[in-house]
Amino acid sequence: MSQLFAVLFDGFAYGMLLFLLSVGLSVTLGLMNFTNLAHGAFAMVGGYVTYSLVELAGWPFLATLPFAFLITAIIAAGFERFLFRRIYEAGELNQVLFTIGLVFAASAVAAYFFGTVHHSVDLPAYLTGFIEVGSVKLPAYRIFLVVVALVVTAIVVAGLEYTRFGAMVRASVDNQKVARGLGLNVNRIFALTFALGSGLAGLGGALAIDILSLDPSFGFHILVLVLIVVAVGGLGSIWGSFLAAACLGIFDVAGKYFIPELGAFLIYLFMVALLFIKPRGLFGRR
Amino acid sequence: MIAPVNALETGHLNKAFGKLVVADDISLALPQGARHALIGPNGAGKTTLINLMTGVLPPDSGQVRLDGKEITGLESDVRVKRGLVRTFQINTLFPKLTPLESVLMAVLEREGISGQWIAPLAARRDAIDEAFGLLTQLGLGDDATRPTHDLAYGQQRLLEIALALATKPKVLLLDEPAAGVPKSESAALFEAIAALPTDISVLFIEHDMNLVFTFASRITVLVQGRILTEGSPDEIAHDPQVREVYLGGADHG
Amino acid sequence: MDPHLWLKRKGRISPYEVAFWPIVLVLPFWLFPTYLSLSSQIAITALFCISLDLILGYAGIISLGHAAFFGIGAYAAGLLSAHGWGEPLSGLAFAAVVAAFAGWIVSFMIVRVQHLALLMITLGLGFLLVELANSLGSFTGGADGLQGIDTWKLLGVWKFSFWGKTAYAYSLAVLFILFLVCRRIVRSPFGLTLEAIRENPDRTTALGAPNRAHLQKIFTLSAGIAGIAGALLAQTTETVSLESLGFQRSAEIAIMLILGGTGRLYGAILGAIIFMVARDQLAGMNPQYWYFWIGLLLMIVVLFMPRGILGGLERLAAFGRRR
């Protein structure tokens, strides 16, 4: 029983990591219909920022996280302003291939600077051990992940629900034409949302170093997982992404634990079936 | 004596999006050879009604009958094959194809050989002649082999109609055929419509009252998804209700 | 302009085409005999790329999992041979039927979804198949690849030798014949209908076209051709690996098509040649740098040559004529 609980919790924590990695893409895809497969590459940037600061500059792990967010967000804003903006009207296939090209190039650049080896970071002692909850021992880092994810979710949801900027984002997701008609600067809203969403991916990338390993192919590895979360959850839906990420995490971890030979197969099967029945995902509006 | 069968009729069509009622108990009859105008303020549900008739939207309740036969459950493309054809308010064409190819495609589809892939296109001489003839008839003969996206706006509106005619419709639903066309050219466009053979029954949506009163033999006024009234141009012009709701209301340009 | 003449001119064979095929036949045999096995690979890849062009370039269906059908064809031909029937032509036919059948089944899903759901379903089906082939290891050879393929003499005369003369002639002949078939298809009424659906599916519906039936037909056909390409690879290399099904192959083929230019068949062939030759020449390079350049090239093509290299050349030629 406690073993089952530990596995489920492990999966949930993994799901929360996936949520952090995906939520930005869900919002930007819902907002601009821009199919950005380079989202995982931005997560990789965050990972390497934290790796560099911890291992090369000697910073404490926690202090690097805001920078993983910020630096990724700034880089993403640059790409949005100078490259992505040119292909918003270029059609899905061009967007897919352009951003895949970017992942290729980014992975090569990462290999040039950091080598092709796997990297890890030294975590502070209070994040490495186990914490006893009732009769179960849970890994401290997983608990930390869940807490961070819940805090981020709260901030994102509150930001979308209660701020002026959030209201503008929601209006633009709902109906871009109407939003433009009301005089909202949808381009600027999108640029900012894109930067923030990519920043979250950067944060997720930093937090992912200890769970998935960090190497130049990171952007590819998480891409499929991120896309599954976004597609199944439904574009532009925070709660859809949350639910999809949690389910995917639990399913993946529990599947690998209990039915290792079928785990991944079942996930793809489930996704294909769900998208066939509900092409807009669980909570997609468009 | 048997009552003549209407070319198209709807029986108590209803459609709502949530609380917004876009079609409220609409029963409309289009006799053979009709030149029937559908007017009403913006958002009255005119295009929605065409979408319901052509099967783009499913109605919540009610029926659509073509030539007296129920077609309510049929897919859009099947309705087209039965002779119920529409055009679009905004140009809905094939930008990279030429007018010749576009109309040819419609002719081939009507002839049931659109899935044929053994003989080349150029071997379909009759279909090509028919497509080119239609384009010439609508004044597009000289531009038949230029890409559609290079055509002037008014020419694209004519191509909309040419495409619909290529399907040999029995009933033609024209959604603001002159939308966006300069006033000087819109009359010519309606002349082309008026010149259509009388075995085609036409229902058209139009905002320009001059055109409506010149070319329609009957007019239906739609307000907030409901039929306000129906009558001859003369009756509609003198209907106080219509004057108040529509003609006397805001300027609809 | 006379409409008959115009349509005829559009469909006629250009002098470039007449020059192209003898060159690709002669060049590898006499000038680069050491590159014959690469040349067969290119011919096979070009055929696979053409199959993607049929659905993507002409019908507008984006697929990130087309290697599934390539792999199904490869395994079908490979398994047939490994179980004792190595006659190559009937092997091709068998693979085509199996892959086309799989494509027909999948097409019911494909034509009902769009955008992200379409991308994810094609992607997911590809992954699904890799997992399946992997877990059926006793049947497919799993990660070690399918062994024991023995391809018999072509037409009972030509042996598939180490130097690969037969393999290249065979692959090129199949490519040429199927290219002619595809050329015929895209210039037929069916091809025109597909282009119209790609341009504006709502409008074709309003003209009475059963879009889904048309799209299912071309998808099935394309899957069959992809299967033949896969079978060619299995027969000429006498092995099938899991990679033949994988996402990487699906992505690469889309990249080649975009590089070459979609919706013109020759773009698929040109893209395959450029991509495969470049990869071969840069093989000594660290693979990371290969990825850097291919990534950069992709971005440049999307930004500045939306119609691919061939589209760019055509524009250049048209510009030259006007001057």
Residues A284, A234 contacting (CB under 8 angstroms): yes
Long-range contacts of A267-274 (CB under 8 A, 24+ apart): A267/A228, A268/C124, A268/C125, A268/C127, A268/C128, A268/C131, A269/C128, A271/A228, A271/A231, A271/A232, A271/C120, A271/C124, A272/C109, A272/C120, A272/C121, A272/C124, A272/C125, A272/C128, A274/A232
Does residue A21 sit in helix, strand or coil? helix
Closest CA to C55 of C169, C220, C172: C220
pLDDT, mean of residues B18-28: 86
Residue C47 lies in a domain: yes
- Report the distance separating Cα A99 and Cα A97, nearest Å: 5
The CATH code that applies to domain A2-277 is 1.10.3470
pLDDT value at position A59?
86
- Report the distance separating Cα A85 and Cα A104, nearest Å: 20
Residue C236 lies in a domain: yes
Cα of A108 to nearest chain C Cα, Å: 5
- Give ipTM to 2 decimals: 0.86
Residues A196, A24 contacting (CB under 8 angstroms): yes
Can you read off the two tokens belonging to residue A204?
């997720």
Closest CA to C191 of C161, C170, C221: C221
Answer whether residue C228 shows pLDDT above 90.
Answer: yes
Q: How confident is the model at residue C193 (pLDDT cuts 50, 70, 90)?
A: very high
Q: In this predicted structure, which of A257-261, B75-79, B125-129, C173-177 has the lowest mean pLDDT?
A: A257-261
Q: In this predicted structure, which of A122-126, C155-159, C175-179 has the lowest mean pLDDT?
A: C155-159
pLDDT, mean of residues C42-69: 93
Residues C231, C96 contacting (CB under 8 angstroms): yes
* Residue ranges of chain A with per-residue pLDDT less than 50: none
Q: Is B213 in the C-facing interface, judged by CB distances under 8 Å? A: no
Q: Print the domain residue range for C230.
A: 13-247
Q: Is C278 in the A-facing interface, judged by CB distances under 8 Å? A: no
Residue C196 lies in a domain: yes
C299-320 tens-digit pLDDT: 988 888 878 888 888 888 887 7
Residue C262 lies in a domain: no
Q: How confident is the model at residue B251 (pLDDT cuts 50, 70, 90)?
A: very low
Residue C182 lies in a domain: yes
Chain C residues touching residue B113 (CB < 8 angstroms): 189
Pairwise CB contact (< 8 Å): C190 & B117? yes
pLDDT, mean of residues C229-244: 87
Pairwise CB contact (< 8 Å): C291 & A35? no
Residue C311 lies in a domain: no
Q: How confident is the model at residue B37 (pLDDT cuts 50, 70, 90)?
A: very high
Residue C75 lies in a domain: yes
Answer whether residue C137 shows pLDDT above 80.
Answer: no
C62, C113, C131: residue with CB nearest A93: C62
B97-151 tens-digit pLDDT: 999 999 999 999 999 898 888 888 888 889 999 999 999 988 888 888 999 999 9
Does residue C309 sit in helix, strand or coil? helix
Residues A31, A165 contacting (CB under 8 angstroms): no
Q: Is C108 in the A-facing interface, judged by CB distances under 8 Å? A: no
Q: How confident is the model at residue B3 (pLDDT cuts 50, 70, 90)?
A: low
Answer whether residue C323 shows pLDDT above 70.
Answer: no
pLDDT value at position C192?
94
B182-196 tens-digit pLDDT: 877 788 788 888 888
C4, C191, C206: residue with CB nearest B86: C206
H helix runs in chain A, sequence order:
2-32, 39-51, 61-82, 92-114, 140-162, 164-174, 176-181, 186-208, 218-233, 238-258, 263-277
pLDDT, mean of residues C242-247: 83
Q: Left, alpha or beta for B75 (phi > 0: left; psi -120 to 50: alpha)?
A: beta
Tally of domains within chain C: 1
